[in-house]
């Protein structure tokens, strides 16, 4: 019996992870966490018999305790609560599916305690990739990618020598604004930006897909996950989202991983690796595929992708600023405080005003995140004046 904990069980990836667990009788959920959605969390506790839970919001945690006083459970609070769940002694694997930098410290502590990681939290590798990968190696911990693109690369590398890789090709749908120009982007509404053509995801990642920052963050993640140089990572627009990513080897052979756009498949592979388990998820029917097409990304219109490449090329805390600025600006955009095109423009400005630190510690990374958020808040106040 594999025992797992899910950080962020009420979010999009967390909920889909539990759908996968429903099909895996040899997987037990022993710990789950949420931010404020305690109604859904309570349903999950009762369905899966989970005894240990954590809630980021203290008031919500106290309310959950009252709602579940008929159950024999332990409820932890705040970031320390997340760390408690991430380091449960009997856990074999921790699914890190929380959104944002809040996932960094629990992931670090889970690795230190010897837990394998099913990684869905982009910020962990984007901001602290060097630290995370070294820690994983030191503690003999596996990091299984949950993102469909990184899972695809992981699968395409099986049985092959990483030294024989020429490059990896990350596919991108292009989001809802593929083919549009910058003038058009100035007119888009929040509803437009949240209308992804292929994938069903949380709001933050859906906006990231619309700006193509999501793909930029994935480029940085891929660099750390697979130990490649930045110029070995290519992005290609593939609107059908059938090929999830590819690996080109030195001999010219290209291996691709294909499937329906369904996050449950890479989640299941992360939970069951190296085994593949039968499921009832939709299967690809090649006879119904009309075409598979590919395009170059438009780096001038979708500036976030280029900013990600540039930040990774510089290194150090530049990627922390990139991520933290984007996180804050997407939050403001979802609240209607800024426009869609403000997101890349203010990220660019923030990066230019940052004095980069190389080889930062976790504490320094968190300090840079705070500096970035303060800069963004000050900048956006001026924008509203």
- Edge-to-edge strand order for the sheet containing 74-77? 74-77, 52-55, 27-34, 2-7, 93-96, 116-119, 143-145
Q: What is the mean pLDDT of the chain?
A: 95
Q: What is the mean pLDDT of residues 281-288?
A: 94
- Which tokens go with 146? 């949950």
Question: What is the band of 53 on the pLDDT scale with cuts at 50, 70, 90?
Answer: very high
Average pLDDT over residues 237-264: 97
| Residue 290 predicted with pLDDT over 90 | no
Q: What is the pLDDT of residue 170?
A: 98
Check residues 250 and 202 and name the one with the higher pLDDT: 250
Residue ranges of the domains in the chain?
2-145, 148-307, 315-385
Average pLDDT over residues 36-55: 97
**pLDDT tops 70 at residue 382:** no
Q: How far is CA 6 from the centre of its chain?
A: 14
Give the H/E segment covering residue 19: helix 12-21
* pLDDT single digits (tens) 328-342: 999 999 999 999 999
Residue 30 has pLDDT above 90, yes or no: yes
Residues of the chain above pLDDT 70, percent: 98
* 281 contact partners, CB below 8 Å, separation of at least 6: 260, 262, 264, 265
pLDDT for res 222: 97
- Whether the Cβ atoms of residue 13 and residue 263 lie closer than 8 Å to each other: yes
pLDDT, one tens digit per residue, over 309-324 is: 999 999 999 999 999 9
pLDDT bracket for residue 200 (50, 70, 90)? low
In this predicted structure, the answer to whether residue 49 has a pLDDT above a threshold of 60 is yes
The three-point CA angle 109-27-261 to 5° equals 90
**b/e code 297-318 from CB counts within 10 Å (16+ = b):** bbeebbbbbbbbbbbbeeebbb
Q: Report the alpha-carbon distance of residue 94 to residue 114 in Å, rounded.
A: 10
pLDDT of 380 > 90? The answer is: no
Could you report the per-residue pLDDT of 126-136, keeping only the tens digit for each?
999 999 999 99
Read off the pTM: 0.93
| Structural domain 315-385, CATH architecture | Orthogonal Bundle (1.10)
CA Rg, the chain, in Å?
Answer: 20
pLDDT tens column, 169-190 = 999 999 999 999 999 999 999 9
Omega prior to 274 cis, within 30 of 0:
yes
Query: Would you say residue 197 has pLDDT above 90?
Result: no
Residue 10 has pLDDT above 90, yes or no: yes
Query: Residue 198: is its pLDDT beyond 80?
Result: no
- Where residue 227 falls (left for φ over 0; alpha for ψ -120 to 50; beta otherwise) is left
- Segment 91-111 shows an average pLDDT of 95
Assess if CATH 3.30.460.80 describes domain 2-145: no
Q: Please give the distance of CA 356 from its chain centroid, rounded to a whole number.
A: 24
Helices (H), ranges, 158-285: 182-185, 190-193, 203-211, 213-226, 264-272
> Cα–chain-centroid distance for residue 26?
26
Rounded Cα distance, 74 and 89, in Å: 15
Could you tell me the pLDDT band of residue 266, with boundaries at 50, 70 and 90? very high
Between CA 124 and CA 359 the distance in angstroms is 15
Predicted confidence at residue 199, as pLDDT, reads: 66
What was the pLDDT predicted at 379?
84
């Amino acid at each position: 019996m594999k025992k797992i904990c899910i950080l962020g069980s009420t979010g999009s990836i967390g909920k889909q992870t539990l759908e996968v667990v429903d099909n895996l009788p040899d997987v037990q959920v022993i710990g789950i966490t949420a931010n404020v959605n305690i109604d859904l969390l309570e349903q999950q506790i009762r369905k899966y018999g989970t005894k240990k839970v954590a809630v980021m919001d203290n008031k919500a945690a106290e309310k959950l305790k009252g709602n579940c006083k008929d159950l024999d459970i332990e409820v932890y609070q705040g970031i320390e609560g997340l760390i408690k769940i991430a380091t449960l002694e009997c856990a074999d694997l921790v699914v890190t599916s929380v959104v944002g930098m809040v996932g960094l410290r629990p992931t670090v502590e889970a690795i230190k305690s010897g837990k394998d990681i099913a990684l869905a939290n982009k910020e962990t590798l984007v901001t602290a990739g060097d630290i995370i990968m070294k820690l994983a190696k030191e503690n003999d911990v596996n990091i299984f990618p949950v993102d469909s693109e990184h899972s695809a690369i992981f699968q395409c590398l099986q049985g092959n020598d990483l030294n024989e890789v020429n490059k990896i090709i990350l596919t991108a749908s292009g989001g809802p604004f593929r083919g549009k120009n910058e003038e058009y982007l100035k007119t888009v509404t929040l509803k437009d930006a949240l209308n992804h053509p292929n994938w069903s995801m949380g709001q933050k990642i859906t906006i990231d897909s619309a700006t193509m920052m999501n793909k930029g963050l994935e480029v940085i993640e891929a660099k750390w996950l697979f130990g490649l140089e930045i110029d070995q990572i290519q992005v290609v627009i593939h609107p059908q989202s059938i090929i999830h990513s590819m690996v080109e080897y030195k001999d010219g052979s290209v291996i691709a991983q294909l499937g329906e756009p369904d996050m449950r498949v890479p989640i299941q592979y992360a939970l069951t690796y190296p085994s593949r388990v039968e499921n009832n998820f939709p299967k690809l029917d090649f006879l119904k595929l009309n075409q598979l097409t590919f395009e170059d990304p438009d780096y001038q219109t979708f500036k976030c992708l280029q900013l990600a490449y540039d930040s990774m090329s510089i290194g150090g805390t530049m990627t922390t600023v990139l991520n933290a600025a984007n996180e804050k600006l997407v939050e403001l955009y979802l609240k209607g405080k800024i426009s869609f095109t403000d997101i890349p423009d203010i990220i660019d400005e923030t990066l230019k005003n940052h004095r980069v630190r190389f080889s930062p510690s976790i504490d320094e990374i968190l300090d840079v995140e705070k500096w970035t958020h303060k800069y963004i808040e000050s900048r956006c106040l001026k924008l509203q004046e």
